[in-house]
């Protein structure tokens, strides 16, 4: 289908904004998303995004004008305050705290960009199949693609998932050059960060998201595992073939982490990273772990630790922290 839509890309760089024209789309584009070919016969113009990392991918590509709005949970206030794309968030419509069919229909969406457990869920009935039945297209976050084992998620390392999504979105929105510029820059940043800890001992790192009865953490397929590994550490749950998942405190204690990386967002039991650290420091079973004894805690915003354009900077920040441990 021919589209008469003219698109303008605003690419934000550290030196200011640059503007580039994007050609009118004249032919369908097909990308592979979560193992399936998906064809777009026009450039989406009313996209609804769910979650901060997903939304920031659109902003990084200069696609704010293609969005009907975004959905971000109220617990992610730190993300919005610390975002390199804070101005884009402020100039875009925040549609709701929780995504639903009613929200995206109310926004007259032609595409929903979300992921399994990043908005899509059988328990709520908000799924790609359900949206297809409403005539609304979907693009799924690659970090959260299901891998064929039950509801386990993850089909590639998280940074590779980021590059895959940026390139796919570049094709869908006809901004391939901008996508390649971002990917090349991120790859250089990650490579340079890795040099900070090259040849140094690799500390065992426990990613603590939330949970006091049982901790919620990162298996090998969620972004923190790749970030930790590229920064010079080893995720203590890097043997779990899953994305974000719940484990037992007994296993955390047994694996004796040297460092704890805390996800800074408000959950049901702790509203700040400092409160999460205080809980861990006061949690008796962990008292003899090297991380607690050495007070080795580091925190990053939620948006830096889910797939998104803050991931490369997260690698650099954590690598600098680990390099400073001696």
**What's the pLDDT at 118?**
95
State whether residue 3 is helix, strand or coil. Answer: coil
Q: pTM score, two decimals?
A: 0.89
**What's the pLDDT at 74?**
87
Least confident of 145-149, 196-200, 320-324: 145-149
Convert the pLDDT of each residue in 81-102 to its tens digit: 999 999 999 999 999 999 999 9
Residue 264 scores a pLDDT above 90: yes
Tell me the average pLDDT across 43-57: 97
Convert the pLDDT of each residue in 129-138 to its tens digit: 999 999 999 9
The residue ranges of every structural domain in the chain are 7-189, 200-323
Q: What's the farthest any 2 CA atoms get from each other in the chain?
A: 65
Is residue 75 within a helix (H) or strand (E), and if so which, with residue range? none
Convert the pLDDT of each residue in 13-43 to its tens digit: 333 333 333 434 458 999 999 999 999 999 9
The confidence band for 116, taking pLDDT boundaries of 50, 70 and 90, is very high
**What's the pLDDT at 22?**
42
**What's the pLDDT at 102?**
97
% of the chain beyond a pLDDT of 90? 86
Whether the CB-CB separation of 94 and 67 falls below 8 Å is answered with no
Strands (E), 23-167: 29-33, 36-40, 47-50, 67-71, 94-96, 111-116, 119-120, 137-140
Tell me the average pLDDT across 139-144: 97
Distance of CA 42 to the CA centre of its chain: 26
CATH of domain 7-189: 3.40.50.1980
| Counts of helices then strands in the chain (DSSP H, E) | 13, 16
Residues in the chain: 326
Whether the CB-CB separation of 143 and 153 falls below 8 Å is answered with yes
Residue 285 scores a pLDDT above 60: yes
% of the chain beyond a pLDDT of 70? 92
Backbone angles phi, psi at 36, to 5 degrees: -120, 140
The three state secondary structure string of 282-316 is CCHHHCCCHHHHCCCEEEEEHHHHCCCCCHHHHHH
Residue 248's closest CA among 216, 218, 279, 270? 216
Residue 4 scores a pLDDT above 80: no
Which residue would you say has higher pLDDT here, 202 or 11? 202
State whether residue 196 is helix, strand or coil. Answer: coil
Distance of CA 221 to the CA centre of its chain: 12
**Which DSSP letter does residue 23 get?**
P
The confidence band for 326, taking pLDDT boundaries of 50, 70 and 90, is low
Query: Do 7-189 and 200-323 have matching folds?
Result: yes
Fold of the CATH domain 200-323: Rossmann fold (3.40.50)
**What's the pLDDT at 204?**
98
What is the C-alpha to C-alpha distance for residues 73 and 98, in angstroms, rounded to an integer? 6
Tell me the average pLDDT across 111-131: 96
Which residue would you say has higher pLDDT here, 317 or 269? 317
**What's the pLDDT at 23?**
39
Q: What is the mean pLDDT of the chain?
A: 91
**What's the pLDDT at 77?**
87
**What's the pLDDT at 75?**
86
**What's the pLDDT at 26?**
53
Question: How far, in Å, are 111, 213, 318 from residue 277 at the CA level?
Answer: 39, 15, 17
Tell me the average pLDDT across 295-300: 98
């Amino acid at each position: 289908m021919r589209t008469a839509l003219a698109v303008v890309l605003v690419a934000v760089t550290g030196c200011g904004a640059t503007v580039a024209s994007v050609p009118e789309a004249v032919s369908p584009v097909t990308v592979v998303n979560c193992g399936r070919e998906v064809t777009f016969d026009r450039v989406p113009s009313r996209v609804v995004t769910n979650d901060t990392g997903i939304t920031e991918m659109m902003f990084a590509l200069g696609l704010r004008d293609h969005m009907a709005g975004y959905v971000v949970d109220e617990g992610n206030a730190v993300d919005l305050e610390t975002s390199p794309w804070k101005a884009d968030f402020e100039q875009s419509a925040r549609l709701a705290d929780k995504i639903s069919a009613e929200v995206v229909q109310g926004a007259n969406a032609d595409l929903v960009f979300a992921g399994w457990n990043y908005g899509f869920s059988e328990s709520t009935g908000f799924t790609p199949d359900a949206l297809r039945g409403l005539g609304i297209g979907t693009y799924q976050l690659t970090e959260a693609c299901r891998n064929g084992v039950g509801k386990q998620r993850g089909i590639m390392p998280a940074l590779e998932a980021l590059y895959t999504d940026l390139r796919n979105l570049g094709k869908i929105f006809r901004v391939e050059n901008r996508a390649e510029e971002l990917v090349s820059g991120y790859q250089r940043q990650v490579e340079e960060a890795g040099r900070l800890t090259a040849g140094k001992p690799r500390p065992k790192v426990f990613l603590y998201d939330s949970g006091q009865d049982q901790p919620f953490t990162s298996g090998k397929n969620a972004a923190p595992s790749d970030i930790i590994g590229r920064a010079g550490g080893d995720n203590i749950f890097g043997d779990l073939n899953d994305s974000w998942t719940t484990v037992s405190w007994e296993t955390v204690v047994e694996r004796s982490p040297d460092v704890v990386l805390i996800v800074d967002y408000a959950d049901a039991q702790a509203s700040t990273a400092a409160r999460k650290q205080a809980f861990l420091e006061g949690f008796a079973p962990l008292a003899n772990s090297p991380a607690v004894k050495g007070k080795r805690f580091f925190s990053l915003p939620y948006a830096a630790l889910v797939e998104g354009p803050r991931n490369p900077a997260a690698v650099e920040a954590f690598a600098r922290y680990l390099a400073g441990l001696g």
